[in-house]
Amino acid sequence: MEGGIPDEYIVLMCGHAGTMKSSVTYSIIYNAAKKEGKKGIYLTLEQSKQSIVDHMSKLGMPPTGIENLAIMDLAKVRKDIESKTQDKRNIDWLNSILGVLKNYKDKFGCDVIVLDSLAALYALTSFKNPRAELFYFFEKIRDLGVTTLLISEIPTDRNVYGLYGIEDFLSDGIIHLKVEQTDSGSNLYLGVVKMRKTNHTRNFMPLIFEDGGFEVVRD
């Protein structure tokens, strides 16, 4: 990718269940904070904060002591949103989550955001016009001026990178994780499907995890 994901891009981290989407994406924001001093928010709408901390610590990527990395979960976000919302039964989750992220950035600063996951966000949201509402959501994320990684599960019944089939057009980049079965077991591969304004390979390359980190094996 000519040096990595460009700043302020919105990138889909896609794959079927079991392709380590959360772990790979977390490793990106973890290393950005630990090695480059970038400030990041990992917002999980599926697992609790403690579950993420425990899982990533077992993989050798503990967030303890890394001040630049904040992990937030739905319980924390819901508490913040409900404290400012009169009608707690009809929360506008798209705008509310955008507001939480913007407030955090304005208060503490932020370079990288991870949203885990789009599927969980969609489960909270009743769309009347998905195409228009998702366009608005992506544009508001872009207005934050940060690099954003959106975890997206590929539907099993369609060859698209998001549930509504438009997320790939709205994003600046798509990274696809997949597992291939062999006689000796399962192997994980990473491919860059799309990354605007970069000269990237389109080949799928083996992705190996060892010693607390991921490594792409290039030919």
157-207 residue pLDDT tens: 888 999 999 999 999 999 999 999 888 789 999 999 999 999 999 899 999
Q: How confident is the model at residue 2 (pLDDT cuts 50, 70, 90)?
A: confident
Assigned domain for 125 exists: yes
pTM: 0.95
Q: Is 29 among the domain residues? A: yes
- Classify residue 190: in a domain, yes or no: no
Within a domain: 7: no
In the DSSP assignment, the letter for residue 184 is: T
Inside any domain, residue 156:
yes
Question: Does residue 4 register a pLDDT over 70?
Answer: yes
Would residue 168 count as lying in a domain?
Answer: no
Q: How many domains does the chain have?
A: 1
Q: What is the percent of the chain where pLDDT is above 90? A: 82
Pairing of strands 10-15, 40-44: unpaired
CATH code of residue 32: 3.40.50.300
Domain contains 105: yes
* pLDDT score for 161: 95
The Cα–Cα gap between 51 and 42 comes to 13
pLDDT tens digits, one per residue of 70-105:
999 999 888 888 777 777 678 899 999 999 999 999
**Distances, alpha carbon 131 to alpha carbons 77, 88, 138, 158, in Å:** 25, 26, 11, 17
Contact 92, 84 (CB under 8 A): no
Domain residues for the domain of 111 are 15-160
Tell me, yes or no, whether 95 lies in a domain: yes
Output the pLDDT for position 88.
Answer: 65
Query: In a 3-state reduction of DSSP, which class is residue 182?
Result: strand
| Beta carbons of 148 and 11 less than 8 angstroms apart | yes
pLDDT of amino acid 3: 86
